[in-house]
C-alpha cells in the first residue's frame, strides 16, 4: 500500500474518532444539570439508577484510553514525521508495540461491555412493560447470550491483523482489519441490529395494547422507541457497511461512533424517565401509589413484588 494512501486512511480514522468524543462530552455538558437533579438527589439507588451511572460513566471515562491511543505519538519529537510504525515503536521501547495491541484489545472489550449494559437496560424496560413476564427474560437471555458470544468470537478469536509490508505513516495506535475479520465483526453487529429490532417490535406491540390507558405515556413511549431504533439502525447499518467495504485501516472507524451514540441515547431515555413533567402527570413516586396500576414501570428483574414497595419505581417512557 502506498504511504500516502495509508496516511489518508489514518487521517479519516482520526477525524471519525474525534467526532463521537465531541458529541459525547458536549451532550454530557448539556445534561449534567438534569442528571444532578434527577439522579443525585435521591435517598437510595435502584437497579435502574445504578445501571444509568454505569452506562453513562463507563463510556465517558472508559473511552479515555481509546482517545489517547487514537492520537498517540510514541516518539518524543516535537513534530510528527513519516516513520515506519513497527520500527519507531521497537526503537523507542520493546514493549510499545505490545502496549498498542493491548489498548486495541481493551477497546474491543469496552465495546462489548458497553453494549451489554445498554442491552440489559433495554431488556428491563421491555420486561417492565410486559408486567415482569418470565418469557421476556427467557427470550432476551437467548438473544443476548448469542449476540455476546458472536461478539466475543469476532473480537478475540483468530490472529491479529498484521501489516504485510513496511508502511509509513504518522505514528499512532491504529490497527488494521483484514476482510475475514471484517466479515466476522459485521456478523456481531448484525446481531446487535437484530436485538434492537426485537426491542422495538415488542415496544411497538405493547404500545398499541396500552394505547387506551394513557395517551401521553404511550406517545412518549413511541417517540423515544422510534427515535432510538431509527438512529441506531442507521448507525448500525453504516457501521456494518464500513466494516465490510472500507480499506483495512478504516474498517472500524464507525464502531466508536455507534457505541457512543447508543450509550448517549440510553442515558437520554433514562433522564426522560425522571422528567418532572412525567412524574407530575403519573405520580411515579408517591407514598399512596398502589401497585395495581396498569401503567408500565421501570422495575428490577432481580426483586420480588414485595421488594418493589419500598423501591423507587420509575415509569418507562
Could you read off the pLDDT tens digit of each residue along the chain, which spans 317 residues? 555 566 666 667 677 778 889 999 999 999 999 999 888 876 667 888 899 999 999 999 999 888 877 776 555 433 443 333 443 344 445 466 677 778 888 888 999 899 999 999 999 888 888 888 889 999 999 988 888 888 788 776 655 544 434 343 444 576 677 888 888 889 889 988 999 999 999 988 887 777 666 556 666 777 788 889 999 999 999 999 999 998 877 787 888 899 999 999 999 988 887 877 765 555 444 333 333 344 444 444 444 444 443 333 344 43
User: Is 317 among the domain residues?
Assistant: no
- Host H or E run for residue 302: none
User: Is 305 among the domain residues?
Assistant: no
User: Is 44 among the domain residues?
Assistant: yes
User: What DSSP state is assigned to residue 307?
Assistant: G
Rg, the chain, Cα only: 22
Domain of residue 269, CATH code:
1.20.1070
Alpha-carbon gap, residue 45 to 269, rounded angstroms: 18
Question: What is the count of structural domains for the chain?
Answer: 1
What pLDDT is stored for residue 258 in this prediction? 93
What pLDDT is stored for residue 59 in this prediction? 95
What pLDDT is stored for residue 45 in this prediction? 73
User: Is 289 among the domain residues?
Assistant: no
User: Is 215 among the domain residues?
Assistant: yes
Strands 168-170 and 82-84: antiparallel
Burial tier of 39 (Cβ tally within 10 Å: 0-12, 13-18, 19+): middle
What pLDDT is stored for residue 281 in this prediction? 54
Domain that holds residue 256: 3-282
User: Is 293 among the domain residues?
Assistant: no
pTM: 0.78
8 A C-beta contact, residue 13 and residue 174: yes
User: Is 230 among the domain residues?
Assistant: yes
Dihedral over Cα of 52, 54, 56, 57: its sign:
positive
Q: How far is CA 197 from its chain centroid?
A: 16
User: Is 122 among the domain residues?
Assistant: yes
Amino acid at each position: 500500500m502506498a504511504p500516502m494512501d495509508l496516511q489518508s486512511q489514518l487521517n479519516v480514522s482520526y477525524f471519525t474518532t474525534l467526532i463521537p468524543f465531541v458529541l459525547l462530552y458536549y451532550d454530557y455538558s448539556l445534561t449534567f444539570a438534569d442528571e444532578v437533579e434527577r439522579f443525585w438527589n435521591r435517598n437510595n439507588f435502584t437497579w435502574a439508577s445504578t445501571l444509568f451511572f454505569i452506562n453513562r460513566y463507563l463510556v465517558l471515562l472508559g473511552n479515555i484510553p481509546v482517545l489517547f491511543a487514537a492520537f498517540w505519538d510514541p516518539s518524543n519529537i516535537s513534530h510528527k514525521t513519516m516513520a515506519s510504525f513497527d520500527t519507531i515503536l521497537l526503537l523507542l521501547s520493546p514493549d510499545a508495540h505490545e502496549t498498542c495491541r493491548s489498548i486495541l484489545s481493551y477497546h474491543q472489550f469496552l465495546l462489548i461491555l458497553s453494549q451489554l449494559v445498554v442491552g440489559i437496560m433495554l431488556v428491563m424496560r421491555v420486561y417492565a412493560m410486559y408486567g415482569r413476564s418470565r418469557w421476556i427474560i427467557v427470550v432476551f437471555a437467548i438473544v443476548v447470550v448469542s449476540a455476546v458470544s458472536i461478539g466475543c468470537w469476532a473480537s478475540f478469536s483468530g490472529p491479529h491483523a498484521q501489516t504485510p509490508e513496511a508502511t509509513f505513516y504518522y505514528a499512532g495506535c491504529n490497527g488494521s482489519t483484514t476482510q475475514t475479520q471484517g466479515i466476522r465483526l459485521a456478523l456481531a453487529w448484525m446481531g446487535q441490529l437484530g436485538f434492537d429490532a426485537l426491542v422495538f417490535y415488542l415496544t411497538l406491540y405493547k404500545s398499541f395494547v396500552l394505547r387506551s390507558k394513557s395517551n401521553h405515556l404511550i406517545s412518549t413511549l413511541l417517540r423515544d422507541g422510534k427515535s432510538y431504533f431509527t438512529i441506531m439502525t442507521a448507525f448500525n447499518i453504516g457501521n456494518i457497511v464500513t466494516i465490510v467495504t472500507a480499506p483495512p485501516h478504516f474498517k472500524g472507524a464507525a464502531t466508536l461512533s455507534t457505541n457512543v451514540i447508543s450509550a448517549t441515547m440510553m442515558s437520554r431515555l433514562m433522564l426522560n424517565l425522571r422528567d418532572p413533567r412525567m412524574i407530575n402527570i403519573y405520580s411515579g413516586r408517591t407514598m399512596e401509589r398502589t401497585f395495581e396500576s396498569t401503567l408500565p414501570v421501570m422495575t428490577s428483574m432481580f426483586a420480588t413484588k414485595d421488594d418493589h414497595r419500598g423501591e423507587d419505581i420509575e415509569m418507562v417512557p
